[in-house]
Amino acid sequence: MAHLKWLKKLDMKELYRETMEEYKVYYEEQTAKVGRFDERIKEITAQAKYREKVKQLVYFLGDQDAYGAVSGRGGRRV
């Protein structure tokens, strides 16, 4: 991501760099966690017992895929 590359190039004092690196580690952990949740939501929405409800939700919310409708993260079809 462009902002991470930009942050890496910034000239900072050592203490600020250490602090930024700690925030970066936390950011990466949270990003990975969101990715795991995303995958789990996709698995769940594919199950037969949820298929009809997800289909109704997709219809209600408009032109989205099932994952986008359930997760609230978009997933617009192109």
> What pLDDT, in 10s, does the model give residues 57-75?
777 777 666 666 666 665 5
Separation CA 50–CA 44 (nearest Å) = 7
Q: Which range of residues forms the domain containing residue 66?
A: 48-78
Domain assignment of residue 29, yes or no = no
Domain assignment of residue 42, yes or no = no
Q: Over range 14-31, report the average pLDDT.
A: 94
Domain assignment of residue 36, yes or no = no
Q: Over range 2-7, report the average pLDDT.
A: 87
Domain assignment of residue 2, yes or no = no
Would you state the pLDDT for residue 77?
47
Separation CA 59–CA 12 (nearest Å) = 50
b/e 46-57 (16+ beta carbons within 10 angstroms → b): eeeeeeeebeee
Domain assignment of residue 72, yes or no = yes
> Structurally, how many domains does the chain consist of?
1
Domain assignment of residue 35, yes or no = no
Domain assignment of residue 1, yes or no = no
Separation CA 5–CA 15 (nearest Å) = 19
Under the banding of pLDDT at 50, 70 and 90, the label for residue 56 is confident
Domain assignment of residue 26, yes or no = no
Would you state the pLDDT for residue 30?
96
Q: Is the pLDDT of residue 21 over 50?
A: yes
